[in-house]
Amino acid sequence: MFTSRRDSPVPNELGYRICAIRETFEESGVLLARPWASGPVGASGQARWPLAQADLARWRKRVDGNAREFLKLCTECRCVPDVWSLYEWCNWLTPVMPAMPKRRRYDTAFFICCLDRIPPAARDDREIVNAQWLTPAEVLHDFRQEKHIIPPPQVYELSRLCQVQSLADLHHFSRERGAKGCERWLPVLFPCEDGHVSVLPGDDLYPAHVDPETYQGRPLANTVAQLRRSANNLNRSETTSESVWKLSGQFATEMRCNIPPKFGHLSPKQNVFEFVEQIQSKL
């Protein structure tokens, strides 16, 4: 999606960042912006110049009512969206689901932004119903405890983030890696006897040619574990559940990856939920 053509004079890599910053502000109240005359971005890439809380709340309401108000915000407050602080991370396309043919699909770009300090955030009660700052391990722990729901792409990406030791390491890695780009991932789902596997590029089960508009998987007469043992190259999520297409079994999702990631990226941490439980037990 970063290289696709659009009828706009704004390059994709810039336009998507501006949209991400605007939507982040609308949904969370966090404004990633910097003054017109600011110097270089800080060591961790923070958008360093927040408005006063009263001004943020006022502008957030205006932008939420009309996206064009975001341009007025930048003009009147003499700031610009801090596109320099957003690093390209990944791109996921929602798969076709035969049991949910009218399901809304998303072609989603993910960016990483590292902050020197935690800004205040507030829910909008539509896209965001709770605002809380957590580590990747804490998010996955709460997910496993069924305190909230996380879609599979976020589980995969949070498992990647669990490989990073510090914020400084993450900023350095994402800044260097972001210049290498990424490919769009379209998961392909295979129902199994005791659940399903969602395979990604590089996995032995992944089709050689994928049509993004049709369902590419098929039911398999194997268990999840049998499919794993029969494959040499793994890049998949595994879900063991009595109901393959329902939400009830997703809390048992495990990431499996034994192949080198492309574009200098991180592999998801294996046995990530055991890792998360070990961290929580030490707190």
Contacts of 63 (CB under 8 A, 6+ apart): 22, 25, 26, 69, 70, 73
Residue 182 included in any domain: yes
33 DSSP 8-state letter: E
Residue 16 included in any domain: yes
Give the per-residue pLDDT at 102: 80
Helices (H), the chain: 12-28, 53-65, 69-76, 136-144, 152-161, 167-178, 224-229, 272-281
Cβ atoms 125, 64 nearer than 8 A = no
Residue 118 included in any domain: no
Domain of 233, in residue numbers: 136-281
Neighbours of 282 (CB within 10 A): 6
pLDDT tens digits, one per residue of 34-50:
888 765 555 445 555 56
pLDDT in tens, the chain (283 residues): 555 565 677 888 999 999 999 999 999 999 999 888 765 555 445 555 567 888 999 999 999 999 999 999 999 999 999 999 999 999 999 998 877 778 889 999 999 999 988 888 888 888 788 888 999 999 999 998 888 888 889 999 999 999 999 999 999 999 999 999 999 999 999 999 988 899 999 999 999 999 999 999 999 999 999 999 999 999 999 988 644 444 445 667 889 999 999 999 999 999 999 999 888 887 7
What pTM value is reported for the model?
Answer: 0.88
Give the per-residue pLDDT at 149: 85
- If asked whether residues 77 and 164 sit together in one domain, one would say no
Give the per-residue pLDDT at 75: 95
Domain total in the chain: 2
- If asked whether residues 64 and 175 sit together in one domain, one would say no
Cβ atoms 112, 174 nearer than 8 A = yes
Residue 2 included in any domain: no
- If asked whether residues 186 and 253 sit together in one domain, one would say yes
Give the per-residue pLDDT at 95: 92
Give the per-residue pLDDT at 37: 72
Q: Which tokens hold the place of 180?
A: 């290498």
- If asked whether residues 180 and 239 sit together in one domain, one would say yes
Strands 33-35 and 87-93: unpaired
Q: Which tokens hold the place of 126?
A: 């539509």
- If asked whether residues 144 and 233 sit together in one domain, one would say yes
Nearest to 160 by CA among 10, 71, 261, 43: 261
Neighbours of 38 (CB within 10 A): 15
| Cα 108-224-136 angle, rounded to 5 deg | 40
- If asked whether residues 62 and 180 sit together in one domain, one would say no
Contacts of 5 (CB under 8 A, 6+ apart): none
Q: Which tokens hold the place of 64?
A: 């939420």
Residue 213 included in any domain: yes
- If asked whether residues 145 and 230 sit together in one domain, one would say yes
Final residue belonging to a domain, choices 85, 100, 125: 85
